[in-house]
Structure 1
Amino acid sequence: MVMMMVMMGCNSGGVLESKESVENRFLKSLVGLSNEFLNVFTSFGEMVGSVLGLKADSKKSDVAAYFKTVQGTVEGVKRGLNKIVADMKKESNPNAAATETAVNKLVSETLDKIITGAKTASEAIGGDANDFIGNVAAGGAGAAAGVKGDNIKNLVKGIKDIVDVVLKNEGSAEAGDDKKAENLSARTGSNATDGEAGKLFSVSNAGAADNAKKAAADAAKAVGAVTGADILKAMIKDDGDAVKLSEGVDAPSAKKDAVIAGGIALRAMAKGGKFAGLSDNANADAKKTVEGTAVGAVIKALDTLMIAIRKTMDLGLKSVKETMKTNINATTVASENSGSSSQNQ
């Protein structure tokens, strides 16, 4: 009887853990971690459908809110991942170290860069930017000048931080051609030539009625000819012509569709940014076309950016989850071998 009590005491002290107990413990751990990841995926997926409802009367502050939402959501993902690691450490989970390494890699190489970029872009625009995305000067004497807007360099920097992570090999800043909409002849590339999209960035006016219509049509052609990835790459190109256009600087080489579309997107997003109006009197057709083109360029760029962020996040989270699975299997096998070895002694 004494011997039986000693043996029971040893087992109750947990000296040896059965194979079934080990497998159940790791199974429960994996199920719990899977649920954590499901919550992460769901929260990020909901953002995709809720942020991009931009329209003609949307304001620049809506774009700032878009980047603020990206920042907050990715910060939430980061907190969720760190909580998983902390819980694993607290439970002395043998896979904690491998999981922490995978999480730290995802955070440092991807999440932190997206968070920083989104914060910079959001602050560059500002939550109080109440002018329209498609902001066009009223037109007429003294009221037709385009305005470059504020903090363009910070806006570009923030977007670049994100694009460099999520769109490494997609899009081209030189996409499209240099043909203007009117007759498919080559653009001059300046912001002073009547009938070309560049005229919308003029610090004086977009030209008289007919020429303003041509400039508006040329801008619409440029945005329609390229992808969102092309627009983003043109926006972030170092010392690029898209930035020069948006800042109202004469850029003779700014002829390609992607460059023009990138310049339009930047001016449309920038706080205080305004496209030039007609020199003589307002023209509803030209103004409406420019407004729609500006919103279209922004939607194209931000939609592409959102999809790219989602894909990058999916790959990163799946990589971390795969690390967990691999190490859980390895540890279970090791436990089985340890149990067999103990029984053979």
Structure 2
Amino acid sequence: MRKRISAIIMTLFMVLASCSNQLEAEKLAAESKNTFFDSLVKIGQGFQDIFGIFGNAIGDALGFNAVKSGDKKSKVGEHFKKIGDGLTTTKDKLKELSNKISEAKNANGSTIEAVKSAINSASDVFEQLITALTKLANTAKEAGDTNIGDNADAVPGAAEKAGVEAIIAGVKDIIDVADKSGVKIEKGNAGGSVNAAATTDASAVLGGANGNAAANAGSKLAAEVAKADPWAMIDKIKNAKATAPAALAGNNNNHEAGALAASNANAAAANNGAKTNADLVAAVALKAMIKGGKFSANAADTDAVKAAAVSAVNKVLGVLDFIIRKAVNLELDKIKEAVKGIKYSESTGEATESDTAQPTTK
């Protein structure tokens, strides 16, 4: 009888011990999951903050209204620098987030690596954009305190070749990086040719020898700028060929943006015809942003020419800003999807439970 009672007691002890061990294991598992969820909350909050950092960092730097009549060319450089600084801040915050993710507790290693890979990829894209923006900012800064629509003395001046080359390279780099990130780059509508038969034509504002631009040429240029497609303009700049300052040869209407931007006081007004509307207005933007670039304007058209130059520059800045913002958002979206895929793991190795992931964030 005693043996039987002892066996029963032993069995009870074993059951109680087993239950105790099971409860302890369940407690530890619950604590592990709580730690995991705490890590996810911190990561999620940190990432959502980053979504607003770029916008907050650049403030009201909206390209389509970045400059106004009376602004100096250096203001264009300030705009590019502000965008670059915003990207730098965003890139730095991503690095901080990557460090937080590395410290995540009870997270599946492969899903953590996927997030870090997405962050590294985005950081590389941002660094390339920052480099291009720095190039653009320095070029505009070198133009100094000259007015964006400078037409003093009605004597036109060519945009310096080195400056044109730098702008072309910077724009091309931004477009190439954004395209690889998934941004759809439009060709736009370049429009028809812009004739140059007299000093009263729009293109006369870009250059003229003894016959500088006459009255009404400024208003005609303003009309050409108003109807220009920003996408077509940026495409023309991307594919332009920088040319040394020179008179344009031949009485024709087939000149591209690079040649038109190089048009100087030796170029007869009748030789300044543009291959397309986009070529003409892109050349206006290049002259307006780059050192040496100057326009010819009749006294009655001074303000109209300045306004046209400012509008052309804002169209270029606006479409570049759109492309950059789109690229940034696409890269951040890729990180967001990777963060949502972080899985729970009971060990530091491969996941033993894979049904727990980052809650969807909006």
TM-score where L is the length of structure 2: 0.74
In 1, Cα distance between equivalents of 2:72 and 2:116: 41
Structure 2 unmatched runs, 5+: 1-12, 243-255, 356-362
Cα deviation digits, residues 279-333 of structure 1 (max 9, x gap): xxxx1x3111110011011112212221222222112101111111113368999
- Paired with 1:102 and 1:125, the residues of 2 have a C-alpha distance of 33
Q: Secondary structure at the match of 2:287?
A: helix
CA change 1:229–1:137 in 2 (3 A) is same
Matched-pair contact (CA < 8 Å) for 1:234–1:262: yes
Check 1:21–1:329 CA distance in 2 against 1; reply closer, same or farther (3 A cut): same
Which residue of 2 is the match for residue 200 of structure 1?
A: 205
| Shift in Å, 1:99 | 1.0
Match of 1:134 in 2: 149
Question: What is the Cα deviation at residue 268 of structure 1?
Answer: 0.7
1:159-178 alignment runs, 5 A limit? 159-166=171-178, 169-172=184-187, 175-178=190-193
1:24 aligned partner: 34
Give me the whole-angstrom Cα distance separating, in 1, the residues matched to 2:313 and 2:26: 64
Q: 1:35 pairs with 30, 37, 45, which one?
A: 45
Which residues of 2 match residues 185-196 of structure 1 at below 5 A? Answer: 187-188=195-196, 193-196=198-201
Does residue 67 (structure 1) correspond to residue 83 (structure 2)? The answer is no
Partners of 1:146 and 1:331 in 2: CA distance: 71
- For the Cα contact (< 8 Å) 1:174–1:259, is it kept in 2? no
Structure 2 counterpart of 1:310: 325
1:233 counterpart = 2:232: no
- From 259, 263, 285, the equivalent of 1:265 is 285
Over 3 Å counting, the alpha-carbon distance change for 1:335 and 1:21 in structure 2 is: farther
3-state SS of paired residue (2:128):
helix
The aligned amino acid for 2:241 is D
Give SS of 2:343's match: helix
Q: After the TM superposition, which of the residue ranges 241-250 and 162-171 deviates more from structure 2? A: 162-171
Where structure 1 has 5 or more consecutive residues not aligned to the other structure, the ranges are: 180-186, 339-345
- The amino acid across from 2:285 in the alignment is A
Residue 98 of structure 1 is matched in structure 2 by 114
- Alignment check: 8 A CA contact 1:117 1:162 kept: yes
Which amino acid counterpart does residue 84 of structure 2 have in structure 1?
Answer: Q
1:219 aligns with 2:221: yes
Letter in 2 for 1:195: T
Contact 1:146–1:275 (Cα < 8 Å) also in 2: yes
Structure label with greater radius of gyration: 2
Deviation at 1:84, TM superposition (A): 1.4
Give the length in aligned residue pairs: 312
Counterpart contact for 1:196–1:218, Cα < 8 Å = yes
Question: In structure 1, how many angstroms separate the alpha carbons of the residues matched to 2:38 and 2:343?
Answer: 11
Give the fraction of aligned pairs with identical amino acids, expressed as a percent.
24
Q: 1:198 to 1:205 in 2, by over 3 A?
A: farther
Q: Quick one: which amino acid aligns to residue 88 of structure 1?
A: I
- 1:153 aligned residue: 165
CA RMSD, Structure 1 to Structure 2 (Å): 3.6
Q: Provide the TM-score with structure 1 as the length reference.
A: 0.77
* Structure 2 match to 1:44: 54
Measured in 2, the distance between the counterparts of 1:273 and 1:73 equals 29
CA distance in 2, matches of 1:71, 1:58: 20
Letter of the 1:200 partner, please give it: V
Q: Take 2:184 and 2:61, find their aligned partners in 1: how far apart are those partners?
A: 27
**Per-residue deviation, residues 197-222 of structure 1 (Å, max 9, x unmatched):** 32222163662533xx22x2332122
Q: State the one-letter code of the partner of 1:129.
A: G
1:132 deviates by 1.3
